[in-house]
Amino acid sequence: MHSIQFALDDESLTNTTITVAGWVRTFRNDRFIALNDGSTIRNLQCVIDQKEVDAATLARFTTGAAVQCTGELVPSQGSGQRVEMKVTAVEVIGDCPAEKYPIQPKKHSLEFLRENAHLRFRTNTYSAVFRMRHQVSFGIHEYFDTHGYNYFHAPIITASDAEGAGEMFRVSTLDAKQPPLNESGEVDFEEDFFGAESHLTVSGQLQAETAALALGKVYTFGPTFRAENSNTTRHLAEFWMVEPEAAFMDLKGDMDLAEGLCKHLISRVLRNSMDDLQFLDARLAEEEKSKPQDQRSEMGLIDRLKFVLENPFERITYDDAINILLRSKPYQKKKFQFPVEWDVDLQSEHERYLVEKHFKKPVIVTGYPAKIKAFYMRTNAPGDFGYSEKGKTVAAMDVLFPGIGEIIGGSQREERLDVLEARMDEMGVPKGELWWYLDTRRFGTVPHAGFGLGLERFVLFVTGMGNIRDVIPYPRAPKSAEF
Ligand code: 4AD
Ligand code: MG
């Protein structure tokens, strides 16, 4: 059996007899099967000799039916493909009743396909997206492996809240209706499976830090969970995050690593996914036509990827960002929905203004106010990039991308035990629970840094899709966990 990709691309197969198997996309004129096996977005045209195949079998070549064809690959008569197959033997492996099959050879809305998520991989759009998701995932391992990082498996179940944002899903075997109570009348988690309140992890960072302070360089890559009630096109309740962490690395090194990773992944998809990219580029161009002129993006998908690959990311401080926003047209004209104020987090509308309108390229913002960032980030001193006269800032860095906003969040970590403990007290982070984390600062502490890249946000960027639910196989979001 040969993959259709090989059949189409390997010239040495021309004029030989091979077997392929896949699903019928269309069947025209009782003769031409467009067959797709998922190995490529392109179909193999399989030409049936009507005299050899009875009418009952011809009727079974419906869209979605699984079919195996054997025949000679010959130079194609029609345009559009180099070769086609002159079929000598054909077998229907799985029938697909046309009147019941939801996926027809026509344009379906993405909403409709989301409701049929189990079948949507059979469309051009989703097969392209998921082949590219694979390319990105594999590229992540490739990048870190070649840079000396060890793949580290952080636990999924945890008793600590890494981000301190309290947006965690509980993991419990207690009877939800009648939980055991302690003497104060509260739920007694000592009786629970893990003997303590436990949750699905929001980040593997804290555990990755413990490993980085021994192995030097590590990265996690796995599912993370957030119970934030954000029904947006950028948030999922279950998403995949990549978190590198390196000892003896400062903020500058962290920014270089983040930029290097993004560029490596983009160059990989430009090299390995050109067929899929061309399809998605055309799809996006079509979609843009329905938007008002001022909302259309200036570049097509492939041009945008090349542009990001070829240009250095802009590196600015939070102070710079606020100043630019305060001077911006949308701010002056009161077009922003959220306030622009020092000590207040940037909203996606602000991030997108900086990236899409002002700099027109990816931007890394550092030196955020301490108040709006997690407890583990390093406090800036005068002279540090991102230090501000306006108030206490930390060595945070967010990477902002066109069309997406924040794609990476990271920082240099606070390695000084006394400063870290003071910060935890200030922010109400329980030091007792995190005794093991604090031990890393007690025993051989060193400057170190890392970041988290949201896989789905990156896949959104490289595919040009508009909704994060379309780039993960089975999206989990508020009120939605079907399939
Ligand atoms: O900025 P965040 O919250 O950073 C952390 O979790 C750190 N512990 C990372 C680190 O320094 N090791 O999340 C990192 C990235 C975001 O920039 C975003 O791309 C993605 O994770 N992300 C989400 N993606 C989809 N749905 C959500 N609900 C997301 N929340 C964060
Ligand atoms: Mg963040």
318 C-alpha to ligand 2 centroid (Å) = 14
How do the pLDDT tens digits run along the chain, 483 residues long? 999 999 999 999 999 999 999 999 999 999 999 999 999 999 999 999 988 899 999 999 999 999 999 999 999 987 788 999 999 999 999 999 999 999 998 899 999 999 999 999 999 999 999 999 999 999 999 999 999 999 999 999 999 887 877 799 999 999 999 999 999 999 999 999 999 999 999 999 999 999 999 999 999 999 999 998 888 999 999 999 999 999 999 999 999 999 999 999 999 999 999 999 999 999 999 999 988 887 787 789 999 999 999 999 999 999 999 999 999 999 999 999 999 999 999 999 999 999 999 999 999 999 999 999 999 999 999 999 999 999 999 999 999 999 999 999 999 999 999 999 999 999 999 999 999 999 999 999 999 999 999 999 999 999 999 999 999 999 999 999 999
- If one residue of 201, 209, 239, 401 were mutated to test the ligand 1 pocket, choosing by the most ligand atoms within 8 A of its CB, it would be 239
Q: Are 233 and 268 in contact (CB under 8 A)?
A: no
For residue 329, give the nearest of 356, 292, 357 by alpha carbon: 357
- Closest-lying ligand 1 atom to the alpha carbon of residue 458: 19
Which residues, 6 or more positions from 179, have their beta carbon under 8 angstroms from its beta carbon? 187, 188
Q: How far is the CA of 407 from the centre of ligand 2 (A)?
A: 8
Q: Whose CA is nearest to atom 23 of ligand 1?
A: 454
Ligand number nearest to the C-alpha of 205: 1
Domains, the chain, in order of start with CATH, read 4-101 (2.40.50.140), 124-153+212-222+229-234+243-455+462-470 (3.30.930.10)
Query: 374-426, pLDDT tens digit by residue?
Result: 999 999 999 999 999 999 999 999 999 999 999 999 999 999 999 999 999 99
Q: Are 367 and 388 in contact (CB under 8 A)?
A: yes
d(CA 274, CA 154): 34
Q: Which residues, including other chains, have CB under 8 Å from residue 82's CB and lie 6 or more apart? A: 8, 75, 76
Sign of CA dihedral 337, 342, 344, 347: positive
Relative to the CA of 237, which ligand 1 atom is closest? Answer: 28
At a CB cut-off of 8 Å and minimum separation 6, what does 92 contact?
Answer: 57, 60, 61, 65, 66, 67
Q: Report the separation in Å between the CA atom of 241 and the middle of ligand 1, taken as the mean of its atom positions.
A: 7
Q: Whose CA is nearest to atom 19 of ligand 1?
A: 454
How many angstroms does the Cα of residue 197 sit away from the middle of ligand 2?
25
CA nearest ligand 1 atom 25, residue: 235
- Looking at the CA of residue 245, tell me the nearest atom of ligand 1: 12
Question: From the CA of 212, which ligand is nearest?
Answer: 1
Number of the ligand 1 atom closest to the C-alpha atom of 457: 19
Residues 6+ apart with CB under 8 A from 429: 164, 375, 423
| Burial class of residue 381 (count of CB atoms within 10 Å of its CB; 0-12, 13-18, 19+) | exposed
What is the number of the ligand closest to the CA of 368?
A: 2
Res 156: pLDDT: 97
Q: DSSP character for 313?
A: P
Q: How far apart are CA 338 and CA 346, in angstroms?
A: 9
Gap from CA of 408 to ligand 2 centroid (Å): 7
**pTM exceeds 0.85:** yes
Please tell me the predicted confidence (pLDDT) of residue 162: 77
Q: Which residues line ligand 1 (CB under 6 A)?
A: 162-163, 203, 205, 226, 228, 235-236, 239, 241, 243, 406-411, 450-452, 454, 456-457
Cβ partners under 8 Å of residue 129, min gap 6: 276, 280, 459, 463, 465, 470, 471
For atom 28 of ligand 1, which residue has the closest CA? 235
Determine the Cα–Cα distance for residues 114 and 468; give it in Å rounded to an integer. 11
| d(CA 303, ligand 2 centre) in Å | 27
Tell me how far apart the alpha carbons of residues 373 and 378 are, in angstroms, rounded to a whole number: 10
DSSP element (H, E) containing 442: helix 435-442
Nearest residue CA, atom 26 of ligand 1?
Answer: 235
**Residues forming beta bridges with residue 34, ordered by sequence position:** 26, 45
| Residue-wise pLDDT tens digits, 26-43 | 999 999 999 999 999 999
Task: Tell me how far the alpha carbon of residue 452 lies from the centroid of ligand 2, in angstroms.
Answer: 8
* Atom of ligand 1 at shortest range from CA of 455: 19
Which bound ligand lies closest to the C-alpha atom of 410?
1
From 394, 457, 461, mutation site for ligand 1 pocket: most ligand atoms within 8 A of C-beta: 457
The residue contributing the CA closest to ligand 1 atom 14 is: 452
Cβ pair 156, 171 in contact under 8 A: no
- For residue 293, what pLDDT is reported? 82
**For a pocket test of ligand 1, which of 201, 217, 241, 254 has the largest count of ligand atoms closer than 8 A to its C-beta?**
241
